[in-house]
Structure 1
Amino acid sequence: MIQTVSTQPFTDQKPGTSGLRKKVRIFAQPHYAENFVQSVFDSLDGFAGQTLVVGGDGRYLNREVIQIVLKMAAANGFGRVLVGQGGILSTPAASHLIRASGAFGGLVLSASHNPGGPDEDFGIKYNIGNGGPAPEKVTDAIIERTLSIESYKILDAPDMDLDTIGTATLGGMTVDVVDPVAAYADLMESLFDFAAIRAKIAGGFTLAFDSMSAVTGPYAVEIFEKRLGAPQGTVMNGTPLPDFGHHHPDPNLVHAKQLYDRMMAPDAPDFGAASDGDGDRNLIIGRHCYVTPSDSLAVLAANAHLAPGYAAGLKGIARSMPTSGAADRVAEKLGVPLYETPTGWKFFGNLLDAGMATICGEESAGTGSDHVREKDGIWAVLLWLNILAVRGESVAAIMADHWATYGRNYYARHDYEAIAKDKADALMAALRASLDSLPGTTNSGGTIKSADDFAYTDPTDQSVSRNQGVRILFTDGSRVVFRLSGTGTEGATLRVYLERYVDTDGDLGMATGDALAPLIAAAQDVADIAGYTGMDEPSVIT
C-alpha cells in the first residue's frame, strides 16, 4: 500500500557539485533521506514506468537508504529498478549501467572519498539519463523543492533481498538485483589490450592496487587478478567495509601512505595505484615515482592512441580550471581543442555528449573518457597499464620522456580543512576585493600579470558559471588559484593550487616543494591564509 507521509522541509539539503553530503547522524534523522529523495522525484518529469538505477559504495547506511529508495521509487511510479547486488555499484559502474540499460536516471549513494562509519559521512546524488551528474537546472529544482516539501510517498512493504541476483516485484515495480561488476569489467576489456597487459604481467611485471577497503575491491579482483592474471594479493584492502576499515578512502599521499611507502621501498613493485570510496578517483605511483593527477592526465592523453579503444585519436581534451596546464601542451601538439572548465564532472559531461572531448581530468585525482559520464579510477589504471605494456618502459622513464618533450608543470594542492565557514568566506571576499589592485605588483612569486575570478561559458549551451575560483597569474606563467571546496560535510575547505611551468631547457629535476616555495610564500602574502584561518600549514598537501 502506498503511504503519503506528512513532513516538513529541512533547510540544509542543498546539493553541491557531487550531490548532498552530510554526516550519517544527519541522514539518519526521521524523514531526512525521504525528503531529499522525494524532492528529486518531484523535480523530474516523465519517469512513470521508466527504469531507475540504484547503488552505492557500501558505506555505513547504504543498505538502509537503498531500501527507502526502492519503496519510494515504487510509490512514485517507476516501472523498474536495477540495483547492484548487496547495494554495491561503483560510481563509474553506475554510470555505465544507466547508459547501457537506457535508464531514466540513477541514484548513487556515496560520499566519494569522504570517510565512512556511524560518525562519518553519507551522500546521495542524482545522475541523469546520460549517466552523468545532474546539471544545475536539475539541482536548482531539487533545492527549491526541498524548501517547500510537505509530504512524500513510500510503499508500506518489507525490505527487499539485495544479496541474491534475480528479479522480484515491489508493488507494481520490478526490482532486478544485478551483478555490479561483470558489465563494467566487460566494458574495460573492450577498451584496452588485455592480452598485452596479461603478457606483461606473466613476464614478471609486478603491481599493487589499494582499494582502501572501499567499493573497487570486487572490481579490482575481477579485473586485475582474474582477467589479467596478477597474483592473488595484488589487490590490497579489497573487501568493501561500511567504515572502510577506518581508512579515509581518498587516494592521496596522506591517506594512501601504506601504498606510497611500499612503492618507495627498495623492493617496490613496478606499478602502484589506488582508488577511492566510490571508485571514481585514482592514484598512480611508479616504482620510486609519484605521478601527480595533472601529469597523469597529460600522459594518458598523449599516449591514449596505444589502447584499442582510443586508436582513432582524441576529439579534444578537457580539464578543470585548477588542474595544471600540462594537458594544454599535449592538446596543442595533437592539434585538438583544450577546454578549461569549472570543477565538477557535469561540465565535462556536456562536452562528451557533444562529441567535443574524449579524455577529461581534474587535479583532484579524477580522470575519465567518453566511455561513461563519470570519472573512473580503474579506467585510468588500465590505460596506464596498457601504455606500459606497449611502450615497455617504466613509469619514471615515461615521465622523464614526457617532461623532455613538453616541459614540466611543477604542481601541488594545499588543503586547509574544517575552517569556520565565516572565516573562509571572509578570506575569499577579501581576495575578490583585491583583484583590481594586484596586477603589476611584485611579491616572492614574481610580478603579477593578471588576477580574476574564473567564469566559464559552456560552449554546448552557452550557460555561464561565475565565481569558480580566484586566479593569480604571474608574468613567468606561474599561477596560484584559491577556491572553496564543496565536497566536505563540516566547515569549509580552502584549496590553494600552486603551479610553476619550466620549459624543456630548464631544470626538470627539482623537488616539487623547492620549485614551488616562492609561490607558497606568495599565496600566504596575497591571501593572509594564517590570519584568516589560524593555520600555519595546510592539513593535506597533494
Structure 2
Amino acid sequence: MSAGFSISTVPTRAFPDQKPGTSGLRKRVRVFQQEHYTANFVQSILSAMPTPGAQGSTLVVGGDGRYYGQEAVQIIARIAAANGVHALIVGRNGILSTPAASNLIRKRHATGKPGLTNDGCGILLTASHNPGGPENDFGIKYNVSNGGPAPEQVTDNIYAISKSLTEYRMADLPTIDLSTIGLHKFGTFTVEIVDPVEDYVAMMKEIFDFDRIRAFLDRRHNFKLLFDGMHGVTGPYGEHIFIKELGLPSDSVMNSKPLEDFGGGHPDPNLTYAHELVERVERDGIDFGAASDGDGDRNMIIGKGTFVNPSDSVAVIAAHADSIPYFQRTGLKGLARSMPTSQSLDRVAKARGVEFFEGWKFFGNLMDAGRLSICGEESFGTGSDHIREKDGLWAVLAWLNILAVEDEKKPDATLQNILDEHYKQFGRNYFTRYDYEEVDGQRAAEMVQRLRGQISTNELVGADLGSGLRIKTADDFAYVDPIDGSVSKQQGIRIIFEDGSRVIYRLSGTGSQGATVRLYVERYESDPARFALDAQEALRPVVQAALALSQLPQYTGRDRPTVIT
C-alpha cells in the first residue's frame, strides 16, 4: 500500500518480440492490445532505466496522438506509480511532439534534484511516420536524460528483461483526465498535464529571429506560405507559430487537427504521401510549402516548381548557419549526416573548416561532447544540438530565417534562388531514394546476403557496370562512435564508383510488418550547365546499374518502387 493508491503484482508471460531499436518498439495496434503486452514493455523500460533507476524519477510522457495513445498513457501512469516514479509530465490529451518532448526532458533534467540522473527521462508514444488507426501501427520509445533515444546498451537491456519477465507492478489509480491542464496528486505520485506547445514555441523564439521573419513576411505581402500538419502532432504547433506568432492568415496551415488515424493518410512528408500539399503548392502558386510527419521530427520543404531534397536542405542550412541567432551565439562546432545522405554536407564542412562525421542516427554523444551543431538524414530528418532529436519545425523555421536574411541582400529571394547559389558555390549532388515497401523479408535478406558475400570475396572492386561506372570500393558500413567507441555494424551495403558516384542498399526496420528495401543513388555534378537537370534524368545510368548489380527486381518481384524521393 502507498498513500493514495494500492499496488498489486500482476503475473504475466514474457513476449519474445519486444526488441526495440533507437526508434523504439513498433508493432500493429492489435499487438499492443494483447493482454499484458503494453504493460510488459513499460515494466521492462522502468526496470532497465540506468542507475538510480525508476525510484524517485520524473518521466515526460506524450505522443503523436495516434490510436491507442491515451489508453497507453493510463497504463504507463499506473505502472510508473507502482514502480516508485515520482512524477509524470504529460502533454494534454497525451499529445507531445518528439522534439517538444526532447526539450521538456532536457529542461526537467537541468532543473531536477541533484544526484537524480533520471530526473528527466521520457516515454514517447509514436510510430513516427507510419500510418495510424486500429488496423495500423503504434509505438513506444524510451528517451534518456539528454533528451535523445536510449542508446543500444539500454535498449538491449530492455529486450533482455522483456524476454524473462514473469510479473509487473500496477497501481490502482483512477482514470486520469488528460484533457485539462493541471496537477493530479495520488499520495507522493503526481501527474502534471501541460500545454504541449508552449515550451517548444518559447525555445524556437530563442533560436530564430522571429522579428526578422515577420518583417520579411510584411515586406513580401504577397508571399504565400502553406504548412501541412498531415493530421499529426505538429498541427497545433504550426497554428501557434505561423498564425499567432508570425501573423499569417488562418488558411496558411492545413490538416492541423491531430487525428488518431491521421485522417486515413500516411503521415510521411514526402512527394508521394504529402501529395495534397504538393498539388496545392503547384495549383495555388505557393512560394513556401512545408510539411512535418506524425510525431514532428521530419520535414519537407517545397515551393512552386521547386523541391528541396533533404540532403540539400541540411547542407544549405549549414552553409547559412550565420544567419540564425542560435549559431551566432554558439558557433558552428561540427556537421554530420547519416551514411546514405548525399555528400553535399561534406563540402560545406570542408569549406567552413569544421569537423565532419558520417554516421547513423547516433549523434547525441557528439552533441553532448560539444563537437556537433547540425545534422541531417536524407529521410527528411534535420536537426541541431538545441535538442537530441530531429526537429521538423526547426528546419522549416531555419529556411524561413535564411529566406528573410537573403531577401534583405537580394529582394524577392526564393527557395530556388538559394539552391542555385548553393550549387554555384559547392556543385550539385544529384540524389534519389527508391523505397520498396512491404516486400518479402526472406527474399530481401537473401539479396543483401548475396551482396555481402560479393563484398567479402572482393569480387565487386574493379567491376565495370557501363556508363563510366567502375566500382572503386564496396563495404558493409559500420559506424564507430568517436566518443564512446561503440560500433554499429551492417548499416548498409555501400558501393562507391571511381567518379565518386555512390549506391547504397539497406533493409529498413521502421515498418511493423514485411521488409522495406531502400536504394540510395548519388552522383556529383560540377558543371553549372548541368545543374538544372531533372534528378531522375541525371541519375538514370546509376539507378540502372544499381538495379542490375543487386538483382533487386528479381528478388523483390517489384518492377518499380513504392516511393521515389
User: TM-score, normalising length from structure 2?
Assistant: 0.94
Contact 2:106 2:120 in 1 (8 A): no
The amino acid that maps onto 1:177 is: I
Contact 2:108 2:120 in 1 (8 A): no
Correspondence 1:97-246 to 2 at 5 A: 97-102=104-109, 103-203=119-219, 204=221, 205-246=223-264
1:348 is displaced (CA, Å) by: 1.0
| 1:106-164 residue CA offsets vs partner (Å, 9 max, x unmatched) | 00000000000000000000000000000000001011111100001111121101111
Aligned to 1:472, the other structure's residue is in SS state strand
The answer for the alignment partner of 2:9 in structure 1 is: 4
Relative to structure 2, which stretch is displaced further, 99-108 or 329-338? 99-108
Q: Distance in 1 between matches of 2:466 and 2:27?
A: 39
User: Given the alignment of the two structures, is residue 38 of structure 1 paired with residue 43 of structure 2, yes or no?
Assistant: yes
User: Given the alignment of the two structures, is residue 53 of structure 1 paired with residue 57 of structure 2, yes or no?
Assistant: no
The answer for the alignment partner of 1:518 in structure 2 is: 541
User: Given the alignment of the two structures, is residue 377 of structure 1 paired with residue 392 of structure 2, yes or no?
Assistant: yes
1:383 is displaced (CA, Å) by: 0.5
The answer for the alignment partner of 2:115 in structure 1 is: none
User: Given the alignment of the two structures, is residue 277 of structure 1 paired with residue 294 of structure 2, yes or no?
Assistant: yes
Counterpart of 1:268 (choices 274, 285, 303) is 285
1:16 is displaced (CA, Å) by: 2.1
User: Given the alignment of the two structures, is residue 329 of structure 1 paired with residue 351 of structure 2, yes or no?
Assistant: no
Q: Distance in 1 between matches of 2:292 and 2:82?
A: 36
Q: Distance in 2 between matches of 1:462 and 1:377?
A: 29
The answer for the alignment partner of 1:390 in structure 2 is: 405
Q: Distance in 2 between matches of 1:385 and 1:410?
A: 24
1:509 is displaced (CA, Å) by: 1.2
1:183 is displaced (CA, Å) by: 0.5
The amino acid that maps onto 1:359 is: I
1:455 is displaced (CA, Å) by: 1.1
The amino acid that maps onto 2:337 is: R
Aligned to 1:331, the other structure's residue is in SS state helix
Relative to structure 2, which stretch is displaced further, 87-96 or 38-47? 38-47
Q: Distance in 1 between matches of 2:163 and 2:437?
A: 28
The answer for the alignment partner of 2:433 in structure 1 is: 413
Counterpart of 1:18 (choices 14, 23, 26) is 23
1:170 is displaced (CA, Å) by: 3.0
Q: Distance in 2 between matches of 1:180 and 1:37?
A: 22
Q: Distance in 2 between matches of 1:69 and 1:171?
A: 17
Q: Distance in 2 between matches of 1:272 and 1:183?
A: 25
The answer for the alignment partner of 1:341 in structure 2 is: 359
The answer for the alignment partner of 1:534 in structure 2 is: 557
Contact 1:202 1:229 in 2 (8 A): no
Q: Distance in 2 between matches of 1:465 and 1:20?
A: 18
1:252 is displaced (CA, Å) by: 0.2
Q: Distance in 1 between matches of 2:530 and 2:231?
A: 39
The answer for the alignment partner of 1:310 in structure 2 is: 327
| 1:393-439 residue CA offsets vs partner (Å, 9 max, x unmatched) | 10000000100110001000001111121111111100100111001
| 1:47-68 residue CA offsets vs partner (Å, 9 max, x unmatched) | 3112110001100000000000
Contact 1:155 1:171 in 2 (8 A): no
Aligned to 2:371, the other structure's residue is in SS state coil
Counterpart of 1:85 (choices 85, 92, 97) is 92
1:504 is displaced (CA, Å) by: 4.5
Counterpart of 1:458 (choices 477, 481, 486) is 481
Q: Distance in 2 between matches of 1:74 and 1:401?
A: 56
Q: Distance in 2 between matches of 1:34 and 1:444?
A: 55
1:456 is displaced (CA, Å) by: 1.5
The answer for the alignment partner of 2:471 in structure 1 is: 448
1:104 is displaced (CA, Å) by: 3.1
The answer for the alignment partner of 2:410 in structure 1 is: none
Counterpart of 2:525 (choices 502, 509, 512) is 502
Relative to structure 2, which stretch is displaced further, 416-425 or 362-371? 416-425
Aligned to 2:281, the other structure's residue is in SS state helix
Q: Distance in 2 between matches of 1:429 and 1:9?
A: 31
- Structure 1 residue runs of 4 or more that deviate by more than 4 Å after TM superposition: none
Q: Give me the identity figure in percent.
A: 54
Q: Distance in 2 between matches of 1:262 and 1:326?
A: 29
Contact 1:38 1:152 in 2 (8 A): yes
Contact 1:403 1:504 in 2 (8 A): no
Long gaps (5+) in structure 1 = none
Q: Distance in 2 between matches of 1:522 and 1:170?
A: 63
Q: Distance in 1 between matches of 2:243 and 2:34?
A: 41
Aligned to 2:206, the other structure's residue is in SS state helix
Aligned to 2:272, the other structure's residue is in SS state coil
Q: Distance in 2 between matches of 1:358 and 1:467?
A: 26
Q: Distance in 2 between matches of 1:296 and 1:513?
A: 18
Q: Distance in 2 between matches of 1:528 and 1:290?
A: 30
Task: Please report the RMSD computed on the Cα atoms of aligned residues, expressed in angstroms.
Answer: 1.0
Contact 1:287 1:396 in 2 (8 A): no
1:171 is displaced (CA, Å) by: 4.7
Contact 2:22 2:151 in 1 (8 A): no
Contact 2:22 2:150 in 1 (8 A): no
Counterpart of 1:423 (choices 416, 429, 443) is 443
User: Given the alignment of the two structures, is residue 403 of structure 1 paired with residue 423 of structure 2, yes or no?
Assistant: yes
User: Given the alignment of the two structures, is residue 437 of structure 1 paired with residue 459 of structure 2, yes or no?
Assistant: yes
Aligned to 1:104, the other structure's residue is in SS state strand
The amino acid that maps onto 2:350 is: E
Relative to structure 2, which stretch is displaced further, 300-309 or 503-512? 503-512
The amino acid that maps onto 1:367 is: T
Q: Distance in 2 between matches of 1:172 and 1:424?
A: 52
The amino acid that maps onto 1:60 is: Y
The answer for the alignment partner of 2:366 in structure 1 is: 351
